[in-house]
Amino acid sequence: MSTLTSSRTSLRRPHREAPSILATMVLLIGALYCLFPILWVLIASSKSSDELFSSFTLQPSVHLWDNIVALSSYRDGLFWRWMGNTFIYAGVGALVSTWVSSIAGYGLAKFNFRGKTAIFNVILMGVLVPGVILAIPQYLLLAKVGLTNTMWAVLLPQFISPYNIYLARIYAAGSVPTDIIEAARIDGLREFSIFHRVAVPMMVPGMVTIFLFQFVAIWNNFMLPYIMLGSDKLFPLTVGLTSLLNQGAQAPALYTLVITGAMLSILPLAALFLLLQRYWRVDLASGAVKA
């Protein structure tokens, strides 16, 4: 009987393993499709201008450091100014957006007030609106108060994100027990103190996720700073490298600088993702132990 059962099991295993193998192959193909452009940028940034246009190969060269030096010397280090601007836009914008989204999501999840459902529905509608559509109205509004061509023109629109508020609301509803909030109120804590001292430690994994999403979104944003800024000294990397790329038609050697700059712009995002992913996992594990 046991022999018959084992034989039936062995006959069924190939049918069960086939879908998993197919799914793995699809995921691998998708990963290669997404990672190949990054691999090409890493390899192309190590080539000289002649090597870049002479042939298309995946063999790296030895000119990476020369390209970085040439990029750093371009217009007295303008690229690193773009890098610093991008860190300011993405870092400040993501931090403020994370705090605003967290406190708004916490309020929507844990407070009952008139118009709560209507406000949440409006936020959901805001999630469906592409940011490109809002760029022109935002430019007109900020032009009225004289903030265009300043860093505030890029920072202010990034402080509020309907999608991040939605995420914070979902996470606060599931991670912050109402009983603990009531106990903190009985102990005499005010609402802001309850949020910062009680709710925030429980919401840290969700806040890290929101910060990461918003940081990457601002880092990769092109349309908003392209419309808002006129001085190249205020450009982020996306707009700065695009302007450099447009000049490559008259000076093909600039294409190598653009590719090298694109390679350098990837490194901070990769480092941030790896750092926050580790921190995220630690927080999730500690939360599971406490539960």
**The pLDDT of residue 129:** 84
pLDDT in tens, the chain (291 residues): 545 444 454 545 555 556 688 888 888 898 888 888 888 888 888 888 877 777 777 788 888 898 899 999 988 889 999 999 999 999 999 999 999 999 999 999 888 888 888 988 888 888 888 878 888 889 999 999 999 999 999 999 999 899 999 999 998 888 888 888 888 888 888 888 888 888 888 888 889 889 998 999 999 999 999 999 988 899 999 999 998 888 876 777 788 889 999 999 999 988 888 887 766 554 444 444 344
**The pLDDT of residue 4:** 47
Amino acid letter, 135: A
Q: Is the dihedral of CA 69, 73, 78, 81 positive or negative?
A: positive
**The pLDDT of residue 88:** 95
**The pLDDT of residue 81:** 94
**The pLDDT of residue 98:** 94
The Cα–Cα gap between 227 and 138 comes to: 10
- The CA-based angle 224-234-264, given to 5 degrees, is 85
167, 123 Cβ separation under 8 angstroms: no
Tell me which DSSP letter residue 189 carries: -
Q: Please compute Rg for the chain using Cα positions.
A: 25
224, 149 Cβ separation under 8 angstroms: no
The Cα–Cα gap between 113 and 104 comes to: 13
pTM of the model: 0.83
